[in-house]
């Protein structure tokens, strides 16, 4: 008989316990919500260090994070197999936009599925176009044949799991393998499946 998985290893237990740092929360059962935007320092030296880094106990300004935000980021990192860290954004589109801007420059090309999340399409067709990036769309069921759509200008591909509008299930491992060979960065909108049901990094997503 197969060994029964420990209850301490289940996703539900991990979700409840992940992201708790005693140095931030004082080892409380429920981490508090930090609402302060600015913080006090004992001396100018500590203030200068706080401006440079967000080390434990050196919180400079709310926009750069707080123990509440970092606790959530740590929890999400623990729940995403293979993740080195997590960045938080105010919306899904903000995350998508930042990911695209990180890898794209004027003259590049990005591929999106025909059934992409509508705001993602609008961002690609309007804002990326303004900066000289071309967006092309593909059949989400193309699988490994996606390689035929890559050009020398293709630098990124945005996938979804599953498709936002019609819930197609893409062959993401095959697409990622083809993208990797073509030196194309694979990005994923994992809103529906989440890391609980689709561990993106383990499946080949960059």
| Residues whose CB falls within 8 Å of the CB of residue 43, separated by 6 or more in sequence, listed in order | none
Same domain, 159 and 97: yes
The answer to whether the bond into 175 is cis (omega within 30° of 0) is: no
Question: pLDDT value at position 108?
Answer: 97
SS3 145: helix
| Residues whose CB falls within 8 Å of the CB of residue 92, separated by 6 or more in sequence, listed in order | 117, 189, 191
- Domains: count for the chain: 2
Whole-structure pTM value: 0.81
Question: Is residue 1 a part of any domain in this protein?
Answer: no
Q: Which domain holds residue 193?
A: 92-203
DSSP 125: I
Residue holding tokens 């301490």? 8
C-beta neighbour count of 110 within 10 angstroms: 22
CATH of the domain at 193: 3.40.640.10
**pLDDT tens-digit profile of 3-19?**
555 556 777 777 777 77
Give the DSSP letter string of 62-103: GGG--HHHHHHHHHHHHHSTT-S-----SSHHHHHHHHHHHH
Same domain, 53 and 125: no
Same domain, 161 and 102: yes
Same domain, 122 and 198: yes
**pLDDT tens-digit profile of 79-110?**
888 898 889 998 999 999 999 999 999 999 99
Question: Is residue 150 a part of any domain in this protein?
Answer: yes
Q: What is the mean pLDDT of residues 46-57?
A: 68
């Amino acid at each position: 008989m197969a060994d029964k998985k420990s209850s301490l290893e289940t996703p539900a237990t991990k979700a409840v316990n992940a992201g708790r740092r005693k140095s931030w929360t004082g080892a409380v059962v429920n981490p508090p919500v930090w609402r302060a935007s600015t913080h006090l320092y004992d001396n100018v030296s500590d203030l200068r260090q706080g401006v440079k880094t967000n080390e434990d106990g050196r919180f400079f300004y709310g926009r750069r994070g707080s123990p509440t935000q970092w606790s959530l980021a740590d929890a999400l990192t623990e729940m995403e197999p293979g993740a080195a860290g997590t960045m938080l954004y105010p919306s899904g589109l903000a995350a998508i936009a930042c990911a695209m801007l990180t890898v794209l420059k004027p003259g590049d090309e990005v591929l999106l599925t025909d059934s992409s999340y509508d705001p993602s399409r609008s961002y690609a067709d309007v804002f990326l176009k303004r900066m000289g990036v071309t967006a092309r769309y593909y059949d989400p069921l193309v699988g490994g044949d996606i390689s035929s759509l890559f050009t020398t200008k293709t630098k990124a591909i945005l996938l979804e799991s599953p498709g936002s509008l019609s819930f197609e299930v893409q062959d993401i491992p095959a697409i990622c393998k083809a993208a990797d060979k073509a030196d194309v960065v694979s990005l994923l909108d994992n809103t529906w499946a989440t890391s609980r049901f689709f561990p993106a990094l383990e499946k080949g997503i960059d």
